Amino acid sequence: MRTYRFENGLRLIQIPSPTNVAYCGISIDAGTRDEEAGEEGMAHFCEHMMFKGTEKRKAWHIINRMESVGGDLNAYTNKEETVVYAAFMKEHLERAAELIFDIVFHSTYPQHEMDKECEVIVDEIESYNDSPADLIFDRFEDLIYEGNCLGHDILGTAENVRRFKTEDALRFVKRLYRPEKMVFFVFGDVKFERVQKMVERLVKRLEKGRTDFPRKQESAAKTEWLRTPRAGMFTENRSTHQAHVMIGRAGYGSKDDRRIALYFLNNILGGPGMNSRLNIALREHKGLVYTVESSLTNYTDTSTWAIYFGCDEEDVEKCLKIVRGELDRLMNEPLSERQFGAALKQIKGQIGVACDNFENYVLDVAKAYLHYNKFEGMKDTIEHLEKVTPQRLQEVAREMFDEEGLTTLIFNS
> Residues 273-305: pLDDT tens digits?
899 999 999 999 999 999 999 999 999 989 999
Q: Which CATH number fits domain 2-203: 3.20.20.70, 3.30.830.10, 3.40.50.150, 3.40.50.300?
A: 3.30.830.10
> Residues 217-270: pLDDT tens digits?
454 444 444 455 678 999 998 888 899 999 999 999 888 999 999 999 999 999
pTM here? 0.90
Q: Are 224 and 375 in contact (CB under 8 A)?
A: no
> Residues 340-356: pLDDT tens digits?
999 999 999 999 998 88
Give the Cα separation of 74 and 51 in Å (integer): 10
In 3D space, the residue among 321, 316, 345, 304 whose CA is nearest the CA of residue 403 turns out to be: 321
Could you say which architecture CATH assigns to the domain 221-412? 2-Layer Sandwich (3.30)
pLDDT for position 221:
42
Mean of the per-residue pLDDT values of the chain: 91
pLDDT for position 259:
94
Please state at what angle helix 132-144 crosses helix 111-129, rounded to 10 degrees: 100
pLDDT for position 220:
43
| Higher pLDDT, residue 413 or 274 | 274
pLDDT for position 347:
95
Residues of the chain within CATH 3.30.830.10 domain(s) are 2-203, 221-412
> Residues 18-53: pLDDT tens digits?
899 999 999 999 999 999 989 999 999 999 999 999
Q: Which residues, 6+ apart, have CB-to-CB distance to 259 below 8 Å?
A: 251, 252, 253, 298, 303
> Residues 84-138: pLDDT tens digits?
999 999 999 999 999 999 999 999 999 999 999 999 999 999 988 889 988 999 9
> CA separation (Å) from 36 to 33, 104, 172, 249, 263?
8, 21, 9, 25, 32
- End-to-end Cα spacing for the chain: 50
Q: Are 251 and 264 in contact (CB under 8 A)?
A: no
